[in-house]
Structure 1
Amino acid sequence: MRKFFPPSKPRTVDGGLKARSKRGAIAQTWWSERFIAVLEDIGMGNRLQRGRTYARKGQVISLDVDAGSVTAQVQGSTARPYRVRIGVTAFGKAEWAKLERELAGNAWYLAKLLASEMPDDIEDVFTGLGLSLFPASAGELSLDCSCPDSEVPCKHLAATFYLLAESFDDDPFRILAWRGRRREDLLDNLHAARSDSSPAADTAENPGARLEDCLGSYFALQGDLPGPSPHVTSSSSLLDQLPPVDARLRGHPLLDLLRPAYRRAGMEHCS
């Protein structure tokens, strides 16, 4: 007779990575939502649901994103955590050089990336060069887990996917790092590409330049500002700042008698 084995329960983890979302969708930004939608579209939707509980309970111990690989440790029911790896193709130098030229050609992309946001149409840039930001098919992903579960993705992989999506919420550059370009390198290369082309620097000589090509230097100081000019004050106006003086000389108010002298003093000072 077949023995009945009760469902195993995962061991509790102290300090595990917990999904912020307690119910409903886990992804918050459009790019992480897009990532989950892509996984569901390529046939992982039903299997992904198994990982939500693990992601929310903190069963994922570690999560690291490198070029072409995401690695994680996920605690299951056994004493030793399972080793998880999610592989994807990292683009080479030539492919990234083309991408960076396209991104550098539009100051809006650079502005959004500097603000740690993913431009809404950045996928179009990748597609236009025959590339894809997110995996386009299940065949583009390499999924491995040291657990004995034959289903792919298992709940350990699924939990890793969910926490990976949340990490994209926090830092969209992780998506690009997964594809082979770190934040610092990407921004340095974009700045260098814009400096080489310098479309904004020629705006004064080229009044027909497009606005989107000038956004990178739109608020930059274009020349020396003139210094403040000294405020010119009439000498006689100083008398008007005195408190009321009820004094008269030979029937004339004292201040009226002093005004000509103040005017002459002011003219001599200016000359």
Structure 2
Amino acid sequence: MARMSERTPWWRDAPPSRPRRVSGGIQIHTARGSVAQTWWSARFIEVLESLGVGGRLARGRTYARAGQTLDLRVEPGAVVARVQGTRPQPYRVRIGLRTYGKAEWTAVEQALADDAWYAAALLAGRMPPEIEQLFASLGLALFPASGHDLSMDCSCPDYAVPCKHLAAVFYVLAERFDADPFEILALRGRDRETLLANLRARRGGTAQAPDAPQATPLADLLDTFFVAGPSEASQLPPAPTPPDALLDQVPAFPIEVRGHRVVDLLRPAYRALGDG
């Protein structure tokens, strides 16, 4: 009979318990197969899978598909979320990634502004593969290369990193990245609005001075934009319209009558009606 000390600890043989059900959680849409649908979100999943945590990845996908993630927020340098597990209190999850400073983002924005194709692709919801080389040419990395580039923390008692709660957040995050590639740039420290404003300023030459007079938005001028001013031109009668002008606007008839176009046959009749 084996001694107690030689047996496998009871908590490693215990079957995984079911998490508490959640109403209104963030539920990923992929029911099976790969979660990441684009190459850029797959970069983060590759880092997760390279850590080799086995069954926790499968349970993390189950959590993500069941909507166990209560909320998720992408901030500069961190993804913060709450995941409901087996205990009444949801677990706090944080995934950290290094942000880039002002000088580094200045170099990135100038490189992006030099080729408007990058901004156009991002606005269309695509992350062009070439943007990864653009960051690399500046000595920067857009995506984490390994788990060492990330800091991961969860308030659950699981000893493994990443645990199933962290894995669930990775999968929810991948779907967020699929829908909006700007979230990846925000994680590195530059949100969508700031990035696009800086790109517009760089492509327009010099940025507008803070005390410069501000142009009135076109939306505020629509009520008066097409209103004629007090001039004699507004009192002029409208120019006469030829009675057969309508025939020049109708689509061409596909048939002819004895070699003549139908419009040409109707034109004398329209002119006669106008003279009357």
Q: What TM-score comes out, normalization by structure 1 length?
A: 0.70
Partner of 1:15 in structure 2? Answer: 24
Matched to 2:62, the amino acid is T
User: Is the 1:44–1:153 contact (alpha carbons within 8 Å) kept by the matching residues of 2?
Assistant: no
Q: Assess, with a 3 A threshold, how the Cα gap between structure 1 residues 39 and 122 changes in structure 2: closer, same or farther.
A: farther
1:33 is displaced (CA, Å) by: 2.0
Partner of 1:90 in structure 2? Answer: 99
2:125 pairs with 1:116: yes
2:249 pairs with 1:241: no
Matched to 1:241, the amino acid is P
Aligned equivalents of 2:167, 2:196: Cα separation in 1: 31
Partner of 1:43 in structure 2? Answer: 51
Greater radius of gyration (CA): 1
Aligned equivalents of 1:67, 1:239: Cα separation in 2: 71
Alignment of 1:21-100 (within 5 A): 21-40=30-49, 42-44=50-52, 46=54, 47-100=56-109
Q: Which runs of 5+ in 2 are unaligned?
A: 207-238, 245-263
Matched to 1:150, the amino acid is Y
**4+ residue runs of structure 1 moved beyond 4 angstroms?**
1-6, 237-240
Partner of 1:134 in structure 2? Answer: 143
2:193 pairs with 1:166: no
Q: Which runs of 5+ in 1 are unaligned?
A: 198-229, 246-261, 263-271
Deviations 1:120-141 (A, max 9, x none): 2110011011111111222111
1:39 is displaced (CA, Å) by: 3.4
Aligned equivalents of 1:113, 1:24: Cα separation in 2: 26
1:5 is displaced (CA, Å) by: 4.7
Matched to 1:102, the amino acid is A
Aligned equivalents of 1:157, 1:113: Cα separation in 2: 28
Counterpart of 1:125 in 2: which secondary structure?
A: helix
Aligned equivalents of 1:87, 1:34: Cα separation in 2: 15
Aligned equivalents of 1:240, 1:9: Cα separation in 2: 83
User: Is the 2:53–2:160 contact (alpha carbons within 8 Å) kept by the matching residues of 1?
Assistant: no
Q: How many residues are aligned here?
A: 212
Aligned equivalents of 2:95, 2:154: Cα separation in 1: 9
Q: What TM-score comes out, normalization by structure 2 length?
A: 0.69
Calculate the aligned-residue CA RMSD, in Å. Answer: 3.0
Matched to 1:136, the amino acid is A
